[in-house]
Structure 1
Amino acid sequence: MAFVPAPGYDPAYDPPVPYITAIPGGLRPGMLFYIRGTLAKGYTRFRVDYATGQYEGSDIALHFNPRFDGRDRVIFNTFQNGAWGEEEKKKDTPFSSSRPFELVVQITQANYQITVDGKPYHEYSHHIPMDRVTWLNVKGDIVLQAASIIGCGVGSAGSKGGAVGIPGGLPPMVGPVCNRPAIPFTANIPGGMIPKRTLVVAGHISSGAKSFIINLKKYSSNDIPLHINSRMIKNVLIRNTFLNGVWGEEEKDIQNNPLQKGQFFDLSIRSGDQNFKVYVNGHCLFRFDNRIKNVQEIDTVEIQGDAELAYVFF
C-alpha cells in the first residue's frame, strides 16, 4: 500500500535533481525544511532556492549556494525584480565529499535559521514577504536522499499538482516539530493517537547500533500498545504489546528490515481502529493488529536506542 502523507507533511524520497516542488500555503513561522544528501561526483556547486515561482527569473527570497572552486564558500543572497541583492558570504563550508549531510532551514518571524549536521550555521533575514515564497528549488551537484517540508499549510495548492485538503480523512499534522531531539526521547501526543493520525520519526541508525526502539504508550498505565524494536545483533524487527504488565505475542517475520546499522530512515506510524500501519521511506513495512479498544488513549511516544534523530513530528 502506497504511503499518503498527512496534511502538514510533504516528504520526498530519493528525488531526482533538479528538484522543484511547491510549498503548500507558502512560508510561515515554525515551518522546517529538511534535506539529506551527498555531493555528486565532480561537484563544483549546488543551490537551494526559496522562490516565488518555479521558473527562471522568479524572485528568490533565499539563495543558498555552496561553491567549491578552490575558494570554497557559501553564498547567501536575494534575487528580486530581476537583480541580485548584496551577497552574504561564509568562507567555511561544512560540506564534504566523504559523507552525507543534513541541511535544515527553519522559518522564524525574523529570518531563516540554517543548520548543517545539527550545528547552527547562518541566519538570513527575510527580504521578501513569507507568504509570497511558494516554491523550493534544489539544483546542481547534489544527490538527494530525502527532502521534506514539515509544517506546511493545509488546504492549499500542493506539490503534487492538486489541493492538499485532507486525503482519506487524514487528520492534519500540526506539530510543533521536535528538531534534532536527543535519545532517549519522550513526548506527549496532544489529543492522543486518534484513528488515522500519523506520527513521523526520522533519523540515522548508528554504525555500531545494537537496537532501536519506538514505543507508543498510555501514560496513565504505562501500557505499550505498539512496541517496535529493531535488534541489529539478531537482525530481527520485533513488534509487540505490553498490556497490564504482560508482554503479548511477538511478531517478527518480515522480508526486509530497513532499520539497520548506518541507514537513514523516515518512519511513519498511522493509527487505526483495526491496526497500525508503519511505513519507512514511503514503503509499507508492516501492519500490526490493534490490541486495545481506544487508540486515542495512546498519548506518549518513547524512543530509545542507537540512533541520531533528525526530527519527530505528529
Structure 2
Amino acid sequence: MAFVPAQGYYPLYNPTIPCRSPIYGGLRPGMAIYITGKVSKHSNSFAVNMGCGQYDGTDIALHFNPRFEGRDTVVFNTFQSGSWGGEERRNDGIPLRRGTPFEMAILVTPVSYQINVNGILFYEYRHRIPMERVQCVHVAGDVKIQSITTVGGGAPMGGPAYPPGGEMILPAYPSMNLPVMGAPIYNPPVPYYANIPGGVSPKRTFIVKGFIPQGGQSFHINFKSSRTNDIALHFNVRLNENAVVRNSFLGGGWGHEERSAPFNPFLAGQYFDISIRTGNGRYKVYVNGQQFCEYAHRFPNVQMIDTLEIGGNIVLSLVQI
C-alpha cells in the first residue's frame, strides 16, 4: 500500500542532511513550506535555503540561518550573482533551542515570506528575488529533519496540471487561491470542526498535521454524518494506553475496536503528519509517510459522511480536506 500524497501536497520524510526538496512549478502567493525537525543537541547552526536551482552556487532567495554560538541569533539573507546581500538578524525571543523539536512554516505572499516557528509569526522577509525562480528547499547543518512539505505546489514534470480550487487561511493574509483538492487551514483551534463539501468520496485524501505536547494523553479524529450523528471512523490515539483505536459509533452504540498496528508513531513532544485516504471499501491511513492501517467501511453511505471533528491534547498545524 504505497503512500499517495494529496494533490498540491508534496512531502519528503526523514531526508539525509544535507538535502534538497524540489518545488515543482516554482513558488506563487498562497503556497507554504512546512518543515518539522529537531535541532541537534550540540548544534552550532543550520540553514534552510529557498534555492533557485538544485546545485551548489545557485542563487538563494531566502537564507534562514539559526546560529547557537554565543547569543542565539537567526540570520536572514539572499545570495545572488555570486554574492551575499545585506544581512537581517533577529536575536530576541528565538523559539529554536538545541535538542528541541520545531516546526517552521514559510508562507509565501506577493511581497514577502512570512516565517512562522512553532505556530507563531517570527519574521517577515521581503522578496529580493522573484519567487517564481525558486525551485527547491535546501536544508544543511546540525539538524534532523522529520519532514519537508510543499503545500499548494504544482504538478511534477510530466504529471497532471491541477486546476485552481480551494483557499488557504493564513494569518494576516487571507483568501489566497491554491491549486489543491480542498482547503488547507493553517493553525486552526482545537477542538476543530469542519464540513466536508459533497461528503466523503473514493480517492479523497484528508491531511492532519500537528504536535502532541508533553503530558498529552490522547486525541481523536472523527468522520461523522451530521444527519444521523453516526461516527463512520473514530481514529483515537491513546498515549496512556500506547494504542491507536479505530472504531465506529452507529445506531447509538460503539462497535468492535480495532487496535492492531505494525508500529506506534505517536509520542508526546513530537510532530505528526496523518493522511487518511478514502477507498471504495476502506480507509487507508498513513502516518509520517508510512502505511499505518486500513479500516473497512462500516457506514455504507459514505456520501452522508459530511463532518470532520478533531479534538484532544494536540496543537494543530494544518488541516486539509
Query: Which residue in the other structure is 1:116 paired with?
Result: 117
**Secondary structure at 1:273 match in 2:** coil
Query: Which residue in the other structure is 2:286 paired with?
Result: 279
Query: What 5-or-longer segments of structure 1 have no aligned partner?
Result: 158-162, 167-171
Distance 1:23 1:191 in 2: 30
Query: Which residue in the other structure is 1:30 paired with?
Result: 30
Query: Which residue in the other structure is 1:169 paired with?
Result: none
Shift of 1:226: 0.8
Distance 1:18 1:305 in 2: 35
Query: Which residue in the other structure is 1:244 paired with?
Result: 251
1:189-209 deviation digits (Å, cap 9, x = unpaired): 233322111111122223322
Query: Which residue in the other structure is 2:8 paired with?
Result: 8
State whether residues 36 and 271 of structure 2, in contact with CA within 8 Å, keep that contact through their aligned partners in structure 1. no
**Secondary structure at 1:291 match in 2:** coil
Shift of 1:238: 1.8
For residues 203-282 of structure 1, what are the structure 2 equivalents within 5 Å?
Answer: 203-282=210-289
TM-score, with structure 1 as normaliser: 0.89
Distance 1:212 1:310 in 2: 14
Shift of 1:213: 0.7
Q: Does 1:142 align with 2:143?
A: yes
Q: Does 1:75 align with 2:82?
A: no
Q: Does 1:179 align with 2:186?
A: yes
1:210-267 deviation digits (Å, cap 9, x = unpaired): 3211001123332211111123333332211223333333222334332343443211
1:97-145 deviation digits (Å, cap 9, x = unpaired): 1411111111112211001111111101122222211111111111112
Q: Does 1:57 align with 2:57?
A: yes
Query: What 5-or-longer segments of structure 2 have no aligned partner?
Result: 162-178
Shift of 1:277: 0.5
Distance 2:8 2:78 in 1: 27
Q: For residue 220 of structure 2, what is the amino acid of its counterpart? A: I
1:29-56 deviation digits (Å, cap 9, x = unpaired): 2211111122224322211111210112
Distance 1:164 1:11 in 2: 16
Query: Which residue in the other structure is 1:101 paired with?
Result: 102
State whether residues 101 and 269 of structure 2, in contact with CA within 8 Å, keep that contact through their aligned partners in structure 1. no
**Secondary structure at 2:202 match in 1:** coil
Could you tell which deviates more after superposition, 281-290 or 252-261? 252-261
For residues 193-208 of structure 1, what are the structure 2 equivalents within 5 Å?
Answer: 193-208=200-215
Distance 1:173 1:59 in 2: 28
State whether residues 105 and 113 of structure 1, in contact with CA within 8 Å, keep that contact through their aligned partners in structure 2. yes
TM-score, with structure 2 as normaliser: 0.87
State whether residues 151 and 175 of structure 1, in contact with CA within 8 Å, keep that contact through their aligned partners in structure 2. no
Shift of 1:164: 4.2
Distance 2:115 2:183 in 1: 18
Q: For residue 291 of structure 1, what is the amino acid of its counterpart? A: R
Q: CA 1:173/1:191 → structure 2, altered by over 3 Å: closer, same or farther?
A: farther
Aligned length, in residue pairs: 303
**Secondary structure at 2:207 match in 1:** strand
Shift of 1:71: 4.2
1:66-105 deviation digits (Å, cap 9, x = unpaired): 2233243211112222222222111223321141111111
State whether residues 30 and 176 of structure 1, in contact with CA within 8 Å, keep that contact through their aligned partners in structure 2. no
1:147-191 deviation digits (Å, cap 9, x = unpaired): 2111211x333xxxxx4438xxxxx84343222222111112233
Q: For residue 12 of structure 1, what is the amino acid of its counterpart? A: L
**Secondary structure at 1:97 match in 2:** coil
Q: CA 1:174/1:76 → structure 2, altered by over 3 Å: closer, same or farther?
A: farther
What RMSD over aligned residues (CA atoms) do the two structures have, in Å?
A: 2.0
